[in-house]
């Protein structure tokens, strides 16, 4: 039997594999060779945008490459998410991913991408819990007192949100479910408008991210009853955690991470992960995160992927229980 054709085939396959490996290694070694583009699906000035700009600056110093931030707004984030999903998987277009991405997977019909497979997660960079705040006129100093008030007078207590399906809406619905109360929901056009009416006393409560409410809490314009986490945080050291007050399922983190289009080479993902995690240890980044009450995470790509998928499943359940239909 003539084995030469088989040997030639095996040799060709080996050469191809070696060339592919060498090419990937070379690409990783040369990466990055041009500017990185951070896409933020939301407007300038928000928490997500701020984290992206801090990271772009820090990462450019670690990788010795320039980085720019591009705000691709519209469609509740869909415009930006879709744009990155269609981008070349070369590691030069990066997506800023956060809690709204997981919520949109169940809230928005006919997304132009598959939420669980369209992106390669790089890391969850930071997180910060939400906080239950009430207007100072509410005669409750603890969560237990507030729950008792709402149960006794359900028609008098309303929670505000930035709109149907937003984190502030789902946080209120989750609290209703876990606490066994029925606060009515008042949606506004954005969390800022909801916060204004809360401070004016037109709604009585809101569950929002700590940075959003921190200055008003410190000024005495709002009263914090509970941090939606399994532990207390330094920025609100006197405020008990959800676990402490008997609502462990109320652990609700606003997280921000980064991803690349699916198919981005693993060596490039690993390079980005290592560099992003390293930025969290720089003195400048530490100081900025502390000022914003943000907690560093810096997990692995695998852990970040699990977090996103778990969040998608969690908020789908909350929406189903609250009767929120996809739009």
Residue whose C-alpha is closest to residue 89's, from 272, 276, 297: 272
- How is residue 230 written in tokens? 């399994």
CATH of domain 36-127+254-322: 3.40.190.150
At 18 the pLDDT is 46
Tokens of 226: 């509970």
DSSP conformational letter for 77: G
Could you tell me where in the chain the CATH 3.40.190.150 domains are found? 36-127+254-322
Both tokens assigned to 15: 């050469």
Other beta carbons less than 10 A from residue 233's beta carbon: 17
Top-ranked range on mean pLDDT: pick from 28-32, 154-158, 189-193: 154-158
**Cβ burial 166-194 (10 Å sphere, 16+ → b, else e):** bbbbbbbbbbbbebebebebbbbeebeeb
Classified by CATH at the fold level, domain 130-250 comes out as: D-Maltodextrin-Binding Protein; domain 2 (3.40.190)
The helix/strand/coil state of 250 is: helix
How does pLDDT run across 25-56, given as a tens digit for each residue? 445 568 999 999 999 998 888 888 999 999 99
- Please tell me the distance from the alpha carbon of residue 144 to that of residue 171, in angstroms, as a whole number: 17
Tokens describing residue 100: 């709204």
The residues, any chain, with a CB within 8 Å of residue 83's CB and separated by 6 or more, are 39, 72
Structure pTM? 0.83
Q: What is the pLDDT of residue 21?
A: 47
């Amino acid at each position: 039997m003539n084995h030469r054709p088989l040997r030639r085939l095996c040799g060709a396959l080996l050469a191809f594999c070696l060339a592919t490996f060498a090419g990937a290694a070379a690409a990783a070694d040369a990466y990055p060779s041009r500017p990185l583009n951070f896409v933020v699906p939301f407007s300038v000035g928000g928490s997500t945008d701020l984290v992206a700009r801090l990271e772009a600056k820090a990462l450019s110093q670690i990788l010795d490459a320039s980085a720019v931030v591009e705000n691709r707004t519209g469609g509740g984030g869909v415009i930006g998410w879709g744009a990155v999903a269609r981008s070349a998987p070369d590691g030069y277009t990066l997506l800023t991913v956060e809690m709204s991405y997981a919520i949109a997977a169940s809230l928005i019909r006919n997304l132009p991408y598959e939420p669980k497979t369209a992106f390669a997660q790089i890391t969850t960079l930071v997180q910060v819990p939400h906080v239950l705040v009430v207007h100072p006129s509410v005669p409750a100093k603890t969560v237990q007192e507030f729950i008792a008030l709402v149960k006794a007078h359900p028609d008098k207590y309303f929670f505000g949100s930035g709109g149907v399906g937003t984190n502030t809406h789902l946080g209120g619905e989750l609290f209703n479910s876990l606490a066994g109360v029925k606060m009515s929901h008042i949606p506004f056009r954005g969390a800022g408008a909801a916060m204004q009416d809360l401070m004016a006393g037109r709604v009585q409560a809101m569950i929002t991210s700590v940075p959003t409410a921190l200055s008003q809490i410190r000024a005495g314009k709002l009263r914090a009853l509970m941090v939606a986490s399994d532990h207390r945080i330094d920025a609100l050291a006197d405020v008990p955690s959800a676990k402490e007050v008997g609502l462990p399922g109320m652990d609700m983190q606003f997280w921000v991470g980064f991803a690349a289009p699916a198919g981005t080479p693993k060596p490039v993902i690993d390079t980005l992960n290592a560099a992003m995690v390293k930025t969290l240890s720089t003195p400048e980044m530490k100081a900025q995160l502390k000022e914003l009450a943000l907690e560093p995470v810096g997990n692995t790509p695998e852990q970040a992927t699990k977090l996103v998928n778990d969040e998608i499943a969690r908020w789908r359940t909350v929406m189903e229980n609250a009767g929120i239909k996809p739009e």
